Amino acid sequence: MASIGIEEFEQVVVRVGTVVDAQPFPEARKPALKLWVDFGAALGVRQSSAQVTVHYSADRLIGRQVLAVVNLPPRKVAGFESQVLVLGLPDENGDVVLLRPDLKVPDGGRVY
């Protein structure tokens, strides 16, 4: 694995936000949900397509805090603009488990 400098790492902006809406995304090629995440006053609500349907239903995600990369360019997924990359880790089967803080923190906080 190649090393990067702290300067490169600091260019990736990871922030915490709260899921304010989540809906099924049947148009996606792989099973996914559409998420709307509130990152607080500085960034507002951003949307994301997330392949998290194995462990999460849309209604279970509303109100949950998640971590996301917020400074990547938007990407079209089946006609839907995904504006942030919600972060997760694979479980033993390779299915996504979302990253989130252990305690409630203010939305928009940057990971450091």
Taking 90 as the threshold, does the pLDDT of residue 42 lie above it?
A: no
CATH T-level fold of 13-98: OB fold (Dihydrolipoamide Acetyltransferase, E2P) (2.40.50)
What is the pLDDT, as a whole number, of residue 26? 94
Where are the domains positioned within the chain?
13-98
Residue 9: Cβ-neighbour burial (10 angstroms; 0-12, 13-18, 19+): exposed
Share of the chain above pLDDT 90, in %: 98
Taking 90 as the threshold, does the pLDDT of residue 89 lie above it?
A: yes
